[in-house]
Chains A and B, each alone.
Chain A
Amino acid sequence: DGGITQSPKYLFRKEGQNVTLSCEQNLNHDAMYWYRQDPGQGLRLIYYSQIVNDFQKGDIAEGYSVSREKKESFPLTVTSAQKNPTAFYLCASSIGQNNQPQHFGDGTRLSIL
């Protein structure tokens, strides 16, 4: 079945540590996105990519980094510079960027040890 796979489901980070969240899609979508979800809030955009080897900062990019070396993959690194990383992270993809519905993975919950 086509879809978006995020791993791991749960992740724990120690102080000062970088961690990487995986996102893979087999939908042949060009655009991919990373969102952060905090309790009671809407989704906030961290980074997005419209095409391989290109990505743009979203509204809350500080303390995060991404790469887009392959069409299917869009990993997110939460760096030690992100002082409040505890959240639910969602990856999404769409056929293109302009008004195309986004389809989401099942998320990764990141917690601090």
Chain B
Amino acid sequence: GQQLNQSPQSMFIQEGEDVSMNCTSSSIFNTWLWYKQDPGEGPVLLIALYKAGELTSNGRLTAQFGITRKDSFLNISASIPSDVGIYFCAGGIYGQNFVFGPGTRLSVLP
């Protein structure tokens, strides 16, 4: 079946730094979603992307739908301690269920 890869698997950054992570697939998707999950809680939707090349922001978060439709990127600017968590991407295509990536674990050092 379809699989998504997320890079990096984990990252440690200093508070105030910018963060970049990506999600790649061998398949084309029509929709990309980005979620954040705090420990012991459910994922919360951050950004939804519906068009190749689309760039969407949500506060300090910016996500892009890759031109090839096989990847997506998430950037976080000026990280703060509450950014800690696991960031998941999900790819969707019409008529099929979303596929979720394994996540990128973000740690922010004070």
- Which residues of chain B are within 8 angstroms of A102 by Cβ–Cβ distance? 33, 45, 90, 98
Contact between chains at A41 and B45 (CB < 8 Å): no
How many inter-chain contacts with C-beta < 8 Å in the A-B complex?
53
Decide: A104 near B94, CB < 8 A? Known: A40-B102, A42-B101: no
- Which residues of chain B are within 8 angstroms of A85 by Cβ–Cβ distance? none
Contact between chains at A99 and B43 (CB < 8 Å): no
Complex Cα spacing A99 to B77, Å: 28
Complex Cα spacing A6 to B42, Å: 10
Contact between chains at A41 and B102 (CB < 8 Å): yes
Chain B, interface size: which category? 20 to 34
Other-chain contact of B42, A40, A99, A101, A107 (Cβ < 8 Å): A107
Q: Min CB distance, A52 to chain B, in Å? A: 19
Give the nearest-CB partner of B31 in chain A.
A99
Q: Min CB distance, B78 to chain A, in Å? A: 26
Give the nearest-CB partner of A107 in chain B.
B42
Instruction: Say what secondary structure dominates the interface of chain B.
Output: loop
Other-chain contact of B94, A41, A45, A98 (Cβ < 8 Å): A98
Complex Cα spacing A4 to B90, Å: 20
B85 at the binding interface (Cβ < 8 Å):
no
Decide: A99 near B97, CB < 8 A? Known: A42-B102, A42-B103: no
Within 8 A of B (CB), among A31-87: 33, 35, 40-43, 45, 48, 58-59
Q: List 5 additional A-B contacts (Cβ < 8 Å) besides A42-B103, A99-B93, A106-B41.
A: A33-B97, A41-B102, A42-B99, A99-B50, A102-B90
